[in-house]
Amino acid sequence: MSSDSKRSRARELAATHLARGDALGRFEPVYAQAAGVAANVPWADLRPNPNLVEWLDAKAIRGDGRTALVVGCGLGDDAELLADRGFRVTAFDVSPTAVAWCGRRFPRSAVRYAVGDLLSPPAIWRQAFDFVFEAYTLQVLPRALRDQAISHMVDTVRPGGTLLLICRGRRPEDAEGQMPWPLLRVELSALERSGIVLEEFEEFWDRHEEPPVWRFRACYSRPPA
């Protein structure tokens, strides 16, 4: 299947589920219908996010046993990267098939993979993580759910902890576009309203993609208690 037809299929699934008022039910069929073939999952490239790798490398970040949470972990490459860099990682996805797939790909992994919904995370995750990483999940959620998702995500950051977010971005004059919907920078202000502080904001052409994609990469911290 070409990447255009995979993306079209994902958009069809999104439209069908969203028309029924079901924002999340479309992810599981994408993974289930892929039948173990990662090339059938539109966003799966079986490598850590290069924009995460570059960020970690530029800052020489090591986990040193600190805790990390990976939101919407997909097939697990970012979670494995963070574990390799010394974090104690929990990674979750709303799709049980994706989570089981991570288990098969990384049978000896130190990562704790879990099925979970960013819109209703377990209470035990509240302010529990030193480093929270989110890439490309907010942009597949309808706009009406993003503030709720952001608030829950921010809530998982421990005092003194860091949150790194990477997403498609757009300028106010740009059209909303198709799913995955690029975010406006103003939408990210919901993170600061939820209690964390913007440390660093970058916007750039991501040339790891063909054609290149306009990205936001933003880093936040929760002030120490």
Position among 136, 181, 216, 220 found at the interface with ligand SAM (CB under 6 A): 136
Q: Does 137 bind ligand SAM (CB under 6 A)?
A: yes
β-pairing, 213-221 vs 157-170, is: antiparallel
Residue 73: which of 44, 40, 32 has the closest Cα?
A: 44
Distance CA 218, CA 204 (A): 11
Nearest approach, Cβ of 138 to ligand SAM (angstroms)?
9
Nearer to ligand SAM, 54 or 65 (CB): 54
Position among 40, 117, 148, 190 found at the interface with ligand SAM (CB under 6 A): 117
Q: Does 94 bind ligand SAM (CB under 6 A)?
A: yes
Q: Nearest residue to ligand SAM, using CB?
A: 72
Nearest approach, Cβ of 95 to ligand SAM (angstroms)?
4
Q: Does 27 bind ligand SAM (CB under 6 A)?
A: yes
Q: Binding segment for ligand SAM among 60-68, 112-120, 155-163, 182-190 (CB under 6 A)?
A: 112-120
Q: Does 90 bind ligand SAM (CB under 6 A)?
A: no
β-pairing, 157-170 vs 129-135, is: parallel
Distance CA 115, CA 94 (A): 5
Residue 72: which of 9, 117, 31, 41 has the closest Cα?
A: 117
Burial (Cβ within 10 Å: 0-12, 13-18, ≥19) of residue 28 = middle
Q: Does 192 bind ligand SAM (CB under 6 A)?
A: no
Check residue 15 and give left, alpha or beta (phi > 0: left; psi -120 to 50: alpha): alpha
Q: How many CA atoms lie within 13 A of 203 on its CB side?
A: 10
Nearest approach, Cβ of 191 to ligand SAM (angstroms)?
16
Nearest approach, Cβ of 140 to ligand SAM (angstroms)?
5
Positions touching ligand SAM (CB under 6 A) are 24, 27, 43, 49, 72, 74, 92-95, 98, 116-119, 135-137, 140-141
